[in-house]
Amino acid sequence: MLKRFEKARKRLQGVIKDTPFSLAKNLSAFTGATVYLKKENLQETGSFKLRGAFNKIASLQENGIKGVIAASAGNHAQGVAYSAKYFGIEAIIVMPDTTPLTKINGVEAYGAKVVLHGKNFDEAFAKSQELAAEKGFEFVHPFADELVIDGQGTIALEMLEEVNDLDILLVPVGGGGLISGVAIAAKTINPDIKVYGVAASGAPAMSESFKAKRAIDSISVKTIADGIAVRDTSQMTLNYILEYVDDVVLVDDEEIANAILFLLEKAKTCC
């Protein structure tokens, strides 16, 4: 099973940073546990999403493609845009109308074309499918794709190489690509490690689906955590989560805001 993640890691060599996995002293003191933070905010595009996007596009490029298209609220968009620029191919990114200007500018800075459509990821996704068929471009899904999942899972390899006796991994959950890759890789290395997903209460689809053991979509989503504001549940990632993840918990926007403030003020870092 690890071969798939090692293959992704080879593709990512020289592109991604082996980001710090640092002891969070203040957070450790606050929680009474030894806590480490994997600082993927220090990646070139500002998030872990570069890993999955690049692994997918690198694989597509091996067979030759003329362009890629994606739907994203921002972080996956920048990963796709960066990767397309790296390989010299065209990229179109469909983003919700509510996407912050900073994220739009970040995508356009890598040379991708931005199309604004819909109120959330799922409406942007529907539009991206239309454009992909119209243009004949390859669609790069932000989470429901094996190669994207493999790229995200390389994070677990790095963490466990640096601290091999980790007991618990806490992983944010939106569509489930990150936690799928991390959980598969981590539990292949150490079956005893616990993996918990953390989702926003304003986007509870994956949490509710986990508990019901079947895909349940939300009617709407509303959370300040726009990167995990996913309305519909992916059957692919849900299957992985049911097999490899121990539980999925919900946090509300006030808790998320307090966590960000703590990271800024006490840990001197943020997402």
Q: What is the DSSP string of 198-259?
A: EEETTS-HHHHHHHHTS----S----S-GGG---S--HHHHHHHHHH-SEEEEE-HHHHHHH
CA distance 114 to 105: 9
Torsion of CA 181, 185, 188, 189, to 10 degrees: -160
Query: Identity (one letter) of the amino acid at 132?
Result: A
Say if CB 131 and CB 162 are below 8 A apart. no
CA distance 229 to 142: 12
Q: Residues of CATH 3.40.50.1100 domain(s) within the chain?
A: 2-42+145-265, 49-139
Q: Please give the pLDDT value at position 104.
A: 92
Q: Which CATH architecture has domain 49-139?
A: 3-Layer(aba) Sandwich (3.40)
Say if CB 270 and CB 41 are below 8 A apart. yes
CA distance 87 to 2: 26
> 2-42+145-265: which CATH number, 3.30.70.260, 3.40.50.10710, 3.40.50.1100, 3.40.640.10?
3.40.50.1100
Q: What is the SS3 assignment for 70?
A: strand
Mean pLDDT by 10 residues, the chain (271 residues): 95 95 93 95 94 97 90 89 96 90 91 92 89 94 96 98 97 97 98 98 96 95 88 95 98 96 82 50
